[in-house]
């Protein structure tokens, strides 16, 4: 049970899908991709279910827009440097990887925020700690029906502990095999493209690679697979063309080769990567390659990224960045990068402001998500020494007397008479310069932000903590 060897039969079985019009022949270029922001969802959940919804971890909240039958949602959970991907469809769930050990709680909380109590399939792409470290926490927190492993033995303590838990909990353990399918839901095709029967010496190249297809929309999840696997897949007769590519190995130069990217021709590329990681991921040349071909989302900049599709249209919701509505012809490389973006859309901004004043008490230890406030810290670049503040309100906000502080309040910047326009962003640079409407200068002669990690805090003129962003 579990993994179904009847690949072709399964594909035939899912034809009656609504909206799926002969996906093989139909040009995927008319698939539409929209990006929205978390805020609107946040409002909905606050209205719907009362105060407990405010218990947001700093990794939350990306909630489903349309739960239930009809939509497949793939969440690329922000676990810093590592991978964790949640698939949800029709009440079924699949978790691919669980981040490092200390991210197990983040993943667990995220799933619980989605109202998930059991997981149909847990997939460990390969036994590196940034993919399976958090597994024990997950396996101990949810009823898991199937565990799918790459089957390549590994001697690390993390892997052994994971196997012990699987054994103790009596979770059916299955080994992924190229060409087979994971029986997730009859309407969603989950095909295993890797590993093959012969393992590579490189653990990353034995990653489980999944192609997930629903209607006309497809996702290619590469784990940490690199050029060797890409070559194999390109020579293996697979239809690699996918709308959404989860780039292999955190967009390291060990993968995402030119030929492979053009075979996949993604409309959207997702990079799961931690800010300021030791490996320099994503590598510049790979990032450029992906950006040329597609619209790139990264967990280090965007936070958790949720892609929802009804089989023809995709909606992208990111946790941290402001919204850009992107209409992209997926399947045609150029369109993704050239997509027009439209300004941030805001709803019910007045209630937002009231909420932010109430919730924004400093020193309470509450972690405020950027999604809670109309004005928020939208980006922080430790190395290049700048911070970005965005106002997604429908009206301008006077920031006079507002403050930016770093971790431990070692440095403070106080806004003078500055008005941040509606649906606009301002960048505050550490050094000297002449202020403009889009650029402000702190005037500091030495760096403010700690490259090893820092948090930016934004306070309003009454000293209420409005937003914070950790990098």
Q: Which is nearer to Zn ion, 130 or 149 (CB)?
A: 130
- Bridge partners of 34? 315
Region near Zn ion per CB under 5 A, out of 107-115, 126-134, 392-400, 444-452: 126-134
The residue among 371, 398, 406 whose CA lies nearest residue 461 is 398
Residue 97 binds Zn ion, judged by CB under 5 A: no
Residue 211 or 246 having the CB closest to Zn ion: 246
Q: What's the CA angle centered on 417, arms 416 and 418, to 5 degrees?
A: 100
Contact status: 224 vs Zn ion (CB under 5 A): yes
Q: Which is nearer to Zn ion, 83 or 181 (CB)?
A: 83
Selected from 130, 216, 302, 324, the binder of Zn ion by CB under 5 A is: 130
Considering CB under 5 A, how many residues would be counted as binding Zn ion?
2
188 has which bridge partners?
Answer: 185
Find all residues with CB under 8 Å of 264, minimum gap 6, and list them: 220, 240, 241, 242, 245
- Could you give the strand order of the β-sheet that contains 244-246, starting from the edge strand earlier in sequence? 3-4, 181-185, 188-194, 209-214, 217-221, 244-246, 268-271, 295-298
Residue 221 CB, nearest distance to Zn ion (Å)?
Answer: 13
As measured in angstroms, the least distance from the Cβ of 335 to Zn ion is 30
Rounded to 5 degrees, what are φ and ψ at 327? -110, 115
| Choice between 224 and 388, CB closer to Zn ion | 224
CA 269/CA 293 separation, integer angstroms: 9
Question: CB 131 → Zn ion: shortest distance, Å?
Answer: 5
**Which residue lies nearer to Zn ion by CB, 61 or 226?**
226
Q: Which is nearer to Zn ion, 37 or 224 (CB)?
A: 224
Nearest to 245 by CA among 271, 226, 274, 215: 271
In degrees, rounded to 5, the angle at the alpha carbon of residue 154 between the alpha carbons of residues 152 and 159 is 110
Q: Which stretch binds Zn ion (CB under 5 A): 94-102, 140-148, 217-225, 415-423?
A: 217-225
Question: In whole angstroms, what is the distance from residue 226 CA to residue 200 CA?
Answer: 11
d(CA 468, CA 375): 11
The three-class DSSP label of residue 56 is: coil
Tell me, rounded to whole angstroms, the distance of Cα 358 from its chain centroid: 29
CB of 35 to Zn ion, least distance (A): 25
Region near Zn ion per CB under 5 A, out of 54-62, 216-224, 238-246, 325-333: 216-224
Stretch of 2-10, 223-231, 260-268, 453-461 lying at the interface with Zn ion (CB under 5 A): 223-231
Give me the least distance between CB of 395 and Zn ion, in Å please.
Answer: 44
Which residue number, 224 or 460, has a Cβ lying nearer to Zn ion?
A: 224
Partner residues linked to 465 by β-bridges: 459
Q: What is the DSSP string of 84-122?
A: -EEEEETTEEEEE---SGGGHHHHHHHHHHTT--EEEEE
Q: How far is CA 304 from CA 151, 222, 301, 416, in A?
A: 29, 18, 9, 33
Q: How far is the CB of 116 from Zn ion (least distance, A)?
A: 24
C-alpha span between 363 and 32 (Å, rounded)? 44
Nearer to Zn ion, 249 or 355 (CB): 249
| Part in contact with Zn ion (CB under 5 A); list of ranges 97-105, 111-119, 128-136, 427-435 | 128-136
Closest contact distance (angstroms) between CB of 193 and Zn ion is: 18
Site for Zn ion contains 352 (CB under 5 A): no
* Minimum gap (Å) between residue 157 Cβ and Zn ion: 17
CB of 249 to Zn ion, least distance (A): 6
Compare residues 223 and 331 and give the one whose CB is closer to Zn ion.
223
* Min dist. Cβ of residue 204 to Zn ion (A): 7
Q: Among residues 283 and 325, whose Cβ is nearest to Zn ion?
A: 283
Interface ranges with Zn ion (CB under 5 A): 130, 224
């Amino acid at each position: 049970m579990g993994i179904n060897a009847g690949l072709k039969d399964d594909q035939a079985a899912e034809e009656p899908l609504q909206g799926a019009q002969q996906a093989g022949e139909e040009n995927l270029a008319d698939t539409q991709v929209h990006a929205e922001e978390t805020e609107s969802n946040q409002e909905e959940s606050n209205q719907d279910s009362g105060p407990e919804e405010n218990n947001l971890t700093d990794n939350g909240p990306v909630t489903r827009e349309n739960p239930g039958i009809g939509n497949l949602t793939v969440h690329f959970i922000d676990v810093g440097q590592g991978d964790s991907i949640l698939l949800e469809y029709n009440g079924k769930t699949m978790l691919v990887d669980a981040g490092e050990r200390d991210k197990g709680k983040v993943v667990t909380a995220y799933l619980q925020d989605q109202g998930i109590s059991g997981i149909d399939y847990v997939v460990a792409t390969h036994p590196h700690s940034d993919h399976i470290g958090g597994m024990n926490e997950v396996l101990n927190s949810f009823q898991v029906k199937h565990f799918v492993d790459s089957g390549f033995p590994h001697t690390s303590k993390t892997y052994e502990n994971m196997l012990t838990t699987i054994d103790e909990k009596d979770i059916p353990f299955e080994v992924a095999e190229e060409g087979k399918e994971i029986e997730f839901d009859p309407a969603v095709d989950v095909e295993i493209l890797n590993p093959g029967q012969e393992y590579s010496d490189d653990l990353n190249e034995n990653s489980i690679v999944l192609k997930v297809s629903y209607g006309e929309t497809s996702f290619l999840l590469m784990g940490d697979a690199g050029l060797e696997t890409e070559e194999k897949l390109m020579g293996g007769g697979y239809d690699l063309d996918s709308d959404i590519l989860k780039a292999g190995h955190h967009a390291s130069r060990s993968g995402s080769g030119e030929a492979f990217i053009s075979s996949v021709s993604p409309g959207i590329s997702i990079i799961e990567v931690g800010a300021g990681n030791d490996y320099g991921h994503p590598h510049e040349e790979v990032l450029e390659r992906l950006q040329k071909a597609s619209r790139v989302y990264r967990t280090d900049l965007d936070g958790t990224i949720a892609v929802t599709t009804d089989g023809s249209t995709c909606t992208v919701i990111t946790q941290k960045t402001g919204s850009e509505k992107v209409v992209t012809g997926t399947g045609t490389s150029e369109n993704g990068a050239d997509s027009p973006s439209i300004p941030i859309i805001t709803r019910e901004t007045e209630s937002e402001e009231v909420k932010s004043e109430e919730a924004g008490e400093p020193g309470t230890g509450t972690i405020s998500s950027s999604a809670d406030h109309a004005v928020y810290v939208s980006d922080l670049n430790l190395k290049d020494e700048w911070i970005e503040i965005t106002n997604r309100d429908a009206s301008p906000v006077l920031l006079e007397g507002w403050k930016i502080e770093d971790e431990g309040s070692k440095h403070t910047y106080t806004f003078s008479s500055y008005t941040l326009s509606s649906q606009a962003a301002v960048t505050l640079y550490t050094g000297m310069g002449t202020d403009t409407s889009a650029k402000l200068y702190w005037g500091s002669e030495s760096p403010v932000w700690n490259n090893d990690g820092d948090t930016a805090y934004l306070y309003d003129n009454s000293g209420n903590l409005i937003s914070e962003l950790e990098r």
